[in-house]
């Protein structure tokens, strides 16, 4: 094969649309929230110096590991994704990327991410990254088609990035990381219960076992939302009580918590898709705003 023919075949293989499909597999929007929570954990220790280089290493390693997990998740769920309206247009169900391409890409990203965390930060952060990856792929993903308890197990995985941020900054695990871990954990539950109610028909077509599919009236879902929002409120106050937030944070935590609770009471009164969407929107306002307050306090106070 001539050099020009070889070059043409390479460029044909690596097209702009294909690069976009690879990036789509990493779920950039979800990945951005993972990175944000990792940054939160990194800046939270009061007696730690906020160094730019370790933070960049954390972001790079977490982005690679999280992206790899998301890719492997979609590789495992190609068939269910093809049956669901909200996921059927993803690169794998549409055939724009093959399963082998996704598998190789996911493995490369995952290995690169864990290696980056290990070589540039410490073995503890890399170990937590590996735990996040393994629990997401080998625990949460399979459980989605076996038991409604998958949401509670998945919440553990989603609450680990701030712990990774903490160990990246401190080099050790401390009990003071528990409130932020709990806050991330209990925030996820009403967030995902709302999503599951909004798309319950889709989840049924995909063969996923969700609380919304065994809850015809919405009452069990609403009770779980209220219960876990109560735990979320306690966790948010615990962050202040151990000295990790100022009065500004405390005020924000109380106002945001009461607002979140009020929106969920609407769903409790009427378990409609519209009210579930309101809970979902409230959840995506609550966490970024509260986290931003904490982060800004570290940088400017």
**CATH assignment at residue 151:** 1.10.357.140
Residue 298 or residue 177, greater confidence: 177
Given 142, 171, 200, the domain boundary residue is 171
| Residue 167 and residue 20 share a domain | yes
Global pTM reads 0.91
Q: Average of pLDDT values for 246-260?
A: 96
Q: Say what the pLDDT of residue 48 is.
A: 77
Q: Say what the pLDDT of residue 261 is.
A: 96
| Residue 119 and residue 55 share a domain | yes
| Residue 165 and residue 20 share a domain | yes
Given 123, 152, 171, the domain boundary residue is 171
| Residue 271 and residue 240 share a domain | yes
Given 119, 138, 171, the domain boundary residue is 171
| Residue 180 and residue 83 share a domain | no
| Residue 181 and residue 161 share a domain | no
Question: How many whole angstroms separate alpha carbon 258 and alpha carbon 143?
Answer: 32
* Mean pLDDT, the chain, integer: 93
Tally the C-alpha atoms within 13 A of residue 273's C-alpha that lie toward its C-beta. 4
pLDDT band at residue 205, thresholds of 50, 70 and 90? very high
Tokens representing 266? 């609407």
| Residue 253 and residue 129 share a domain | no
pLDDT band at residue 15, thresholds of 50, 70 and 90? confident
Q: Average of pLDDT values for 110-127?
A: 98
Question: How many whole angstroms separate alpha carbon 86 and alpha carbon 96?
Answer: 17
| Residue 103 and residue 90 share a domain | yes
SS3 category, 199? coil
Domain count, the chain: 2
Q: Say what the pLDDT of residue 13 is.
A: 55
For residue 270, give its domain range. Answer: 174-301
Q: Is the pLDDT of residue 150 over 50?
A: yes
| Residue 20 and residue 146 share a domain | yes
CB 120 within 8 A of CB 62: no
Among 14-23, 119-128, 219-228, 236-245, whose mean pLDDT is lowest?
A: 14-23
């Amino acid at each position: 094969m001539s050099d020009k023919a070889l070059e043409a075949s390479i460029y044909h293989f690596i097209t702009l649309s294909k690069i976009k499909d690879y990036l789509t597999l990493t779920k950039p929007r979800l990945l951005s929230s993972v990175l944000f929570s990792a940054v939160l954990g990194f800046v939270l220790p009061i007696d730690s110096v906020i160094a730019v280089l370790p933070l960049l290493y954390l972001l790079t390693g977490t982005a690679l590991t999280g992206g790899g997990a998301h890719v492997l998740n979609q590789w495992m769920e190609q068939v269910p994704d093809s049956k669901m309206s909200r996921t059927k247009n993803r690169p794998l169900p549409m055939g724009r990327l093959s399963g082998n391409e996704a598998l190789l890409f996911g493995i490369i990203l995952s290995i690169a991410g864990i290696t980056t965390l290990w070589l540039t930060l410490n073995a503890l952060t890399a170990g937590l990254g590996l735990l996040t990856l393994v629990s997401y792929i080998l625990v949460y993903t399979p459980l989605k088609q076996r038991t409604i308890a998958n949401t509670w197990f998945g919440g553990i995985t989603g609450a680990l990035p701030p712990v990774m941020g903490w160990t990246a900054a401190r080099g050790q695990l401390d009990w003071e990381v528990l409130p932020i871990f709990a806050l991330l954990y209990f925030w996820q539950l009403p967030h995902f219960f709302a999503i599951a109610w909004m798309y319950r028909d889709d989840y049924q077509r995909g063969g996923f076992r969700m609380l919304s599919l065994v809850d015809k009236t919405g009452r069990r879902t609403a009770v779980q939302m209220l219960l876990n929002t109560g735990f979320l409120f306690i966790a948010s106050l615990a962050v202040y009580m151990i000295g990790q937030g100022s009065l500004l944070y405390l005020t924000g935590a109380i106002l945001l918590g009461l607002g979140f609770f009020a929106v969920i009471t609407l769903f409790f009164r009427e378990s409609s898709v519209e009210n579930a969407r309101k809970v979902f929107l409230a959840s995506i306002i609550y966490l970024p705003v509260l986290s931003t307050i904490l982060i800004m306090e570290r940088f400017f106070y």
